[in-house]
Structure 1
Amino acid sequence: MKELTLRSDIVIVGGGAGGLELACKLGRKLGPTKVTLVDSRLYHIWKPSLHEVAAGTLDIHQEGLSYQMLAHDNGFNFVFGPMTALDAASKTITVGAIVAATGNDEVLPERRLTYASLVLAVGSTSNYFGVPGAQEHTISLNATEDAERFRLRMLRLMLAAEQEHEEGRGTGLDVVIIGGGATGVELAAELREASGVYVTYGFDQLDVRRDVRITILEGASRVLAPLPEKVSAAAADLLAKRGIRVVTDCRVTQIERDKVTDKDGNVYRANLCVWAAGIKAPDLLATLGLPTSKGGQVEVDDRLRVKGAPDIYALGDCAACVDGNGHPVPPRAQAAHQQADYLVANFVRQSKGQAPQDKPYEYRDYGSLVSVGQSTSVGSLMGSLRGASWFVQGWMARVMYTSLHLMHHRAVLGTMRTGVLALARFLVRRATPLVKLH
């Protein structure tokens, strides 16, 4: 078969929050002959909502946005497939073949894609830190298929627990979440609420607090360790009120099929185990011949250009970027959003034959919000004064947390369609079960 070679002025690899926003905003300004997005999946989901998919409170088939649809509506080109190689000298990337899920039929061949400018936005993946059994016996919420796999397994375990109780031999089930960061806390709270909802749909033999036991194991002295202590304390209090056990200063040393062991020899029974203890850059980056940090991220300068490769840029979790004070930019959605906006301005200037903007990229921390179930959130908001922050909690924090998702959708769908989509979801939730039951 003849090798297929495509060309685009700006090629963006990775359709996560930052990469997709960059593609949509540039596509609307420059058009499909200029901008191409490459991703190994056909649809996009906002990664911070994966814990809701895992708990069953969000249906991935309703939440996912088709890249092909977004490309059509925003004026960029979409190439389906994983990036497998980079030839920086010839400014070419290789996009791997797509093979049918059943059988070995090749749906799309391997392709070459040449570029004038390349943006790497491939996100991050789980870092297991060499813990024995972690990769084999845990589920990490890196992608939609992980969240869906967790949801189906959780549903099967609850069905089995319900059956055991009917037979008079019920022991319930144990869910262990390793890592008390935002993902671990949000998943634990969402699972507690979801398990309570399942009971109303026929799992009436189960007592939620007695039979669905949820434990968070955190290596630091408190959950949400990177956030202010007041936020951490409020989250811990909300988790305790929901009957979620939190064990701090706990370093996991071994994970087996049905149990977790820590450094002190404590054993935690686990029917289902989630790894949320850390992230790292995808292994692909180490094979591209680009400079990488100790954590595997691509090293970039203050203009988000890869060091030694001025035509290649990186943003989001995969970029080793520092702020004006020399501190690493945290792997958060707000950082990817800011970096995307910075690159949009530069590429638009470049398309007009103008010099890049004079100022370097500067990260601005607007605070953090953590969902603790469907009805409340906690977090801190950063003020304009250096070091000033405000603690927020409850209904107002929940509204602000939800607005972050809507802001992302507005960036890729526009104001009108985001409003219609929000209304449609509100109506659908009143015509369907509160959790996905199949």
Structure 2
Amino acid sequence: MNVDRRRRRIVVVGGGVAGVEIATSLGRRSKNDQSMPAVILVDRDSAHIWKPMLHTIAAGTRDISQQQTPYLAQARDAGFEYQPGEMCSLNRANRTIGLAPLHAPDGRLLVPAREIAYDTLVISVGSEANDFGTPGVQEYCFKIDSRLQADAFNREVRIRMLQSVAQEQDLSIAIVGGGATGVELAAELMQLTQIAEAYGAPALSSRIRITLIESGPRLLPAFPDDISQATEERLESIGIRVMTNSKVSAATTEGFELDDGPTVTASLKVWAAGVKAPAFLTNLDGLESTRGNQLVVLPSLQTTQDPNIFSLGDCSSLTLSQGERPLPPTAQVAHQQAQHLIRHLPAVISRGKRPPDFNYRDFGSLVSLAEYDAFGSLGKYGLFKGTTIRGRLAQLSHAMLYRSHQARLYGFWRGSLVWMVDRLNMRLRSAIRLD
């Protein structure tokens, strides 16, 4: 889609949960109404995957090709423009952003460095795991913060599992971080092992050891105590070793060294602890940021130093008047903030109105342990507020969050067809990635 240079521009940086929903919704309006600003989505990757599903891509229990949404195809259908690139700088005086050059894996230049002009800028670049400067993490650990990282880890898992079967060797996997990502990845890896054994990998489950390491006193610290306890018990019942109160001091080729205890041996190491925003957001042309690189925003989601720049999701820090701490970096927060801007941004741009303050509603949290179990807390709103659910109801609720996201991207009918095709493929194709 070629953007008319005379039209005002909304540039959305980051195609995660918030960014792709904003670009899709406002792009559809812009497509049908030439008085609306043109919408440009910038992302360094070529496709979108719902971030809470990355652990299934990493384990190989979901097919990456079926779950990803290519930005070019989405841009064509929704009426926005996709620009590949990674934001690296900002010029607020000229209202331009700088994009770093993109290179192929072999070093060839694909897209040169360039600038993109904006009238309104929305930064929603997400977050990444925070290693807190722990020695060895960058050299020896995998992370699964993006589609490409999850796919890279899955390729390595399949190689190591093949070696384990062919050479009758043990395979030890250790995951640091007892939040939702680490917990769900551990369960999916165990399911992967059991399905692979059913496909003809004899005694594989007896050769693979999975360890989950958490520095705090319990798993899932953002969840109620009863869910944390039940989750730990369920993980241990399916053969996962859970270590709490275990702070990692270093990662090595052999495994993880602990502050107080023996080294946890691991041939495959995953770091899923901590949260921080990308480093380039710090000192971004005078915008205010936190120690975790998040952009500080007002209740209107505008940055504190520039009303033409909005930030939302994991890369922003917002403390509401009734809150004691910033909103958590979750997909739920990102989605609600995206819907807030979708409703109010057109009026802000066309009429110069100040956007109303964002109002967050905590509808609870869900965690899925593959096909083994699921747990949920229904939050602070609704008829059943504060209720804890588990089992099939929690699994269905978890699945519906994803299907709702797909419906917002594709529309109700096409989203329903995507769901149906996904269910058919689960019946007709292998349950794990075998290529």
Q: TM-score per shorter chain, which class?
A: over 0.9
Asked if residue 331 in structure 1 is aligned to residue 334 in structure 2, the reply is no
Shift of 1:99: 3.1
- For 2:37 and 2:385, the matched residues in 1 are separated by 45
Aligned to 2:40: 36
8 A contact 1:175–1:213 mirrored in 2? yes
> Per the alignment, in what secondary structure is the counterpart of residue 430 of structure 1?
helix
Shift of 1:348: 2.0
Q: Find the partner of 2:245 among 244, 249, 252.
A: 249
Q: Find the partner of 1:293 among 286, 290, 297.
A: 290
- For 1:350 and 1:25, the matched residues in 2 are separated by 16
Matching residue's letter, 1:29: R
- 1:272-331 deviations in Å (ceiling 9; x for gaps): 011011111101101422111121111111101111111111000000111232321000
Aligned length: 425
- 1:3-57 deviations in Å (ceiling 9; x for gaps): xx99752110000000111111111223385211111111100111111011111
Aligned to 1:193: 191
8 A contact 1:178–1:216 mirrored in 2? yes
Aligned to 1:235: 231
What TM-score does the superposition give when structure 1 sets the normalisation length? 0.93
Compared CA separation, residues 129 and 100, structure 1 to 2 (3 A)? closer
Structure 1 runs not aligned, ≥5 long: none
> Per the alignment, in what secondary structure is the counterpart of residue 387 of structure 2?
strand
Matching residue's letter, 2:207: D
- For 2:111 and 2:236, the matched residues in 1 are separated by 50
Q: Find the partner of 1:384 among 381, 385, 406.
A: 381
Matching residue's letter, 2:133: G
Asked if residue 139 in structure 1 is aligned to residue 142 in structure 2, the reply is yes
> Per the alignment, in what secondary structure is the counterpart of residue 126 of structure 1?
coil
Q: Find the partner of 1:123 among 115, 122, 126.
A: 126
> Per the alignment, in what secondary structure is the counterpart of residue 235 of structure 1?
helix
Asked if residue 93 in structure 1 is aligned to residue 91 in structure 2, the reply is no
Aligned to 1:175: 173
Aligned to 1:25: 25
Aligned to 2:81: 77
- For 1:324 and 1:216, the matched residues in 2 are separated by 37
Aligned to 2:222: 226
8 A contact 1:179–1:216 mirrored in 2? yes
- For 1:314 and 1:110, the matched residues in 2 are separated by 23
- 1:193-249 deviations in Å (ceiling 9; x for gaps): 11000112221142x1x3111111111111001210011111112101111111110
Q: Find the partner of 2:165 among 157, 162, 167.
A: 162
> Per the alignment, in what secondary structure is the counterpart of residue 265 of structure 1?
coil
- For 2:120 and 2:13, the matched residues in 1 are separated by 11
Asked if residue 421 in structure 1 is aligned to residue 418 in structure 2, the reply is yes
Q: Select between 5-14 and 82-91 the one with higher mean Cα deviation.
A: 5-14
8 A contact 1:190–1:372 mirrored in 2? yes
- 1:40-93 deviations in Å (ceiling 9; x for gaps): 111100111111011111111221101111111111111111112110011011
- For 2:410 and 2:281, the matched residues in 1 are separated by 30
Asked if residue 212 in structure 1 is aligned to residue 208 in structure 2, the reply is yes
8 A contact 1:131–1:253 mirrored in 2? yes
- For 1:364 and 1:219, the matched residues in 2 are separated by 29
- 1:122-150 deviations in Å (ceiling 9; x for gaps): 11112111111111111111111211121
- For 2:395 and 2:382, the matched residues in 1 are separated by 24
8 A contact 1:12–1:37 mirrored in 2? yes
Shift of 1:98: 2.9
Asked if residue 184 in structure 1 is aligned to residue 182 in structure 2, the reply is yes
Aligned to 2:370: 373
8 A contact 1:375–1:395 mirrored in 2? no
What TM-score does the superposition give when structure 2 sets the normalisation length? 0.94
Q: Find the partner of 1:113 among 116, 130, 142.
A: 116
> Per the alignment, in what secondary structure is the counterpart of residue 119 of structure 2?
strand
Shift of 1:383: 4.2
Aligned to 1:57: 61
Aligned residues with identical type, % of pairs: 36
Asked if residue 411 in structure 1 is aligned to residue 389 in structure 2, the reply is no
Q: Find the partner of 1:150 among 128, 153, 156.
A: 153
Aligned to 1:281: 277
- For 1:269 and 1:129, the matched residues in 2 are separated by 21
> What is the RMSD of the two structures over their aligned residues, measured on CA atoms?
1.9
8 A contact 2:361–2:381 mirrored in 1? no
